[in-house]
Amino acid sequence: MPTPVDLRSDTVTLPTAAMKQAMLEAPLGDDVFGDDPTVRALEAAAAARLGKEAALFVPSGTMANQVALRCHTRPGDLVLAPEDAHVYWYEAGAAAVLSGATIHRLPTVRGLLVPEAIPPAIPPDDVHFAPARLLWVENTANRGGGMVYPLSCLDALTAIARRNGLATHLDGARLFNAEVASGVPAARLARDFDTVSVCLSKGLGAPVGSLLCGSDESIHRARRARKMLGGGMRQAGILAAAGLYALQHHVARLAEDHARARTLWAGLREVGLAVEDAPESNMVFARVPDAGATAAALAGEGVRVGVAGADRIRLVTHLDVDDEGIARTLAACARLGSAW
């Protein structure tokens, strides 16, 4: 039986042979003592790539986000974030548990924050209200369909935050998808944010890891928070080597994933699936009568998709899905066409 086409997420990617070789050959040390040369090389490369002074290697995107929250907020603070933000939906309530912060969800258009919505959401300086401390932006917008922020919108958001005394964090789990889709360098997209997190284990194809980037001062604080949260790893260079390889070799190829997502979107329309907006990056969302039943039926056809709601499925292209995989997916959907 052929290997299933796995479109559930770009987190399912497996390391390439060349990436495994880089991991095998990585010089190692104890990263908690600051002795791992490969981790240091990855952090330096990421900081340079994102135009920041320093970076911190952590096990996951959730930890990168939670470390950022620890650095920017105090218990009782308010975080202004998109209504569909990963930090609200998919991090197990960690903002409240670990930082004592409240996420105030703001309305979006296609998953993207509207600058005009920020000022009215900032509470007055009154003891009855939680003080707003942090503006949170996610690029690309996952639940918004993988949409990419226009640079003008990012600039407007950060300008409003500065005028109102808010710190800023960019959840850039798929920031390099945004770079490739928009043609704007990641450093420019992240320029006016105090901190930015990027994931290595999604579209870039590394098995583990994310990075939090910012000023020397913020990353110094972040290193302590990482230790507190149990994220200090020892001979972590074996993992960092995969991330370093991914940064060097897997960014430009994201364009292939985006092209396949557009092909998939067009083909799904032809077979009658109620697809949402045309993809800007590597995600296709569609509406179906019963997402769970649809996913189960497609699994029986050798295609795995994500369930993103009672009537919503998500299909994500990545480096382990080739043109044949897209063709097989469309053929399976055509066979199940009456279910739409």
CA–chain centroid gap for 122, Å, is 26
Taking the C-alpha atoms of residue 177 and residue 260, their distance in angstroms, rounded to an integer, is 13
51 and 138, same domain (yes or no):
yes
Q: For residue 291, how many C-alpha atoms fall within 13 Å in the half-sphere facing its CB?
A: 16
Torsion sign (Cα): 92, 307, 2, 12 = negative
User: How confident is the model over 48-86, as pLDDT tens digits?
Assistant: 999 999 999 999 999 999 999 999 999 999 999 999 999
In a domain, 175, yes or no: yes
241 and 263, same domain (yes or no):
no
* pLDDT bucket at 338, cuts 50 / 70 / 90: low
Which CATH number do you get for residue 31? 3.40.640.10
Taking the C-alpha atoms of residue 6 and residue 325, their distance in angstroms, rounded to an integer, is 9
Structural domain range at position 293: 253-339
pTM of the model: 0.96
In a domain, 8, yes or no: no
In a domain, 47, yes or no: yes
Q: Report residue 131 as tokens.
A: 């003080």
Share of the chain above pLDDT 70, in %: 99
186 and 293, same domain (yes or no):
no
128 and 45, same domain (yes or no):
yes
157 and 296, same domain (yes or no):
no
pLDDT value at 261 more than 90: yes
Provide the number of structural domains found in the chain.
2
CA trace torsion 316, 319, 322, 325 (10° rounding): -40
Nearest-CA neighbor of 205 among 1, 3, 23, 54?
Answer: 23
Share of the chain above pLDDT 90, in %: 98
Taking the C-alpha atoms of residue 79 and residue 95, their distance in angstroms, rounded to an integer, is 9
36 and 173, same domain (yes or no):
yes
Which CATH number do you get for residue 291? 3.90.1150.10
28 and 159, same domain (yes or no):
yes
Residue after which a domain boundary falls, among 249, 275, 300: 249
Burial class (CB within 10 angstroms; exposed 0-12, middle 13-18, buried 19+) of 45: middle
For the chain, what is the mean pLDDT?
97
Nearest-CA neighbor of 238 among 11, 16, 17, 36?
Answer: 36
Residue after which a domain boundary falls, among 249, 282, 297: 249
What pLDDT score was predicted for residue 337?
78
In a domain, 11, yes or no: no
102 and 131, same domain (yes or no):
yes
In a domain, 5, yes or no: no
Nearest-CA neighbor of 46 among 190, 207, 151?
Answer: 190
108 and 32, same domain (yes or no):
yes
DSSP three-state, residue 224: helix
In a domain, 3, yes or no: no
174 and 28, same domain (yes or no):
yes
Residue after which a domain boundary falls, among 225, 249, 273: 249
200 and 314, same domain (yes or no):
no
Taking the C-alpha atoms of residue 91 and residue 63, their distance in angstroms, rounded to an integer, is 9
In a domain, 200, yes or no: yes
DSSP three-state, residue 166: coil
Quickly tell me which residue has 């899905």 as its tokens: 321
241 and 282, same domain (yes or no):
no
In a domain, 174, yes or no: yes
User: How confident is the model over 142-159, as pLDDT tens digits?
Assistant: 999 999 999 999 999 999
